Structure 1
């Protein structure tokens, strides 16, 4: 098993867990996390771990937190989740889409343990799901990309062709196209969440094709570094701020803010009000934040996207507002129409104008 950090532990809790007995009321709540990548200093797992540290500080000796990093999706995830449950963790957060089936399986084996799965859609009485509306941040990125590109070619590094990623590509393209009708988007699938070498190769390939904007739905800073080397390419921080690359190439970022959600769910465990539910928050709820817009962005573009951010936060504007067609030209949304969450959660098509092929 990968490196595990214990912020705090007690002999009494360990003995109770080993004996299969419930922890005494006075014992701290044990909360476990598994991460698909390293916590590092930027990216997806880093943001989840920042939130873990925040709850440890918030609740003090009322809780004990544990994490396991670099857990591959698949059988290894099931083993890691099982081990966390056997060690007495009463609330376990599984923080990657590919952990979904493993989390479902382990939740069945431990009905008295509460599980939470990030970005998934399968629930049970002891399994909740939570996600963020990342596509709202992509609307901001797309607007900046459409305004700032000189080649009219935007590159997008996709992780896996799942609805969450497809939403982001579509949203980025729609909003780039709104401000720049000549823009096109090129997609390279990395088939990984975190692999700096693959991400660097993907960025290099897109830059070689003439893309002067690179977006990513992968977690390392390798694309930022490639863009920095190129010197005339802009990027956006993914999951975390990645401000070390500001003001260029990183001109702003979409930041995942899990802290409020984790605090709410731990509080619910402590007061006995935890229930299985599905949460999908965005800019308005604070689960998605937009990083500082750098000086590389023209003032008028900055003002434009700040106004867009305000409309997204208030709910005045939805990134998927018709008229919109699917890639094959068939009608999807009529003028002024917006999709329901079920439709968005199952998005498996590109919108009209995207020439890239969506793998099945």
Structure 2
């Protein structure tokens, strides 16, 4: 569309909007959005640009409830009008949340700019995205408060630069919960994990010495060393190699099934459980490790999708030690209420997110 024609369209649109009462503006926006969503896959770039102008003009003069609806409808569309998406992402958090957490249209640069311009709620929403490149996590770590740091460290799809990870570990020095969360990540390089363990041990030693001034130094050191094991990775390369051979053998015989998983869990064979879940549930090893070291809700979803029994699920939860025992009761309520079909849909969505994350990871250098 030529510049003069575009200007005429905008003038006519603004005039039409000015003549319409608020309820008619909302209805017009819904109809225009319906038209875009109907044809979105077939639209060329210049056509999307026209929708961008029309929807943006209408969205600027409607109430918040209608903008929330617009954000929900456009959040998952790969070629949604980018100007509208960026405007919605900068709106009040109830409007912005759907596009901040889900929209594939927002680039790393967009997310960094939003993290810099907006507050905690917007940063927390960004932390919910299935994949966060290091440029975004750098911004979140540098600017975010404690809640943001915890949220980004919990995100298994978050990637950290060396500088970002060093800053996050430095901030964990005075935050015991953050130390534990970072210790559960499977992607922490060994030098950083060693530093994290050292920080955790020193912090624990100070706390125990203050709380128990009469305790012997050797007793405190023993307790500290035992606690620091929670920050060490559960699986070793040697054990994973052995487990891989056993899981592959069972798979070749057609015996890799729920009974095998239950046997691994009851024998506390962590690595075998991780690799069996990876094979049977179709998720990555990182996801499987995450479910067995802290994410009980996701573990319940995977078990229900496979239609495994509560006995097997509980045995897998028990691999988390005392913490697993404390969460088993709540997990059982989720297990009973979660429909198999719902669990299957959730697992399919998770695997698609992982696949898209891998694609973005390969092509994201240009973002």
Does TM, normalized by the shorter one, top 0.5? no
TM-score by length of 1: 0.25
The structure whose residues are more often helix, as a share, is 2
The structure whose residues are more often strand, as a share, is 1
Give the structure, 1 or 2, with the largest relative contact order (CA under 8 Å, sep 6 or more).
1
TM-score by length of 2: 0.24
Q: Choose 1 or 2 for highest CA Rg.
A: 2
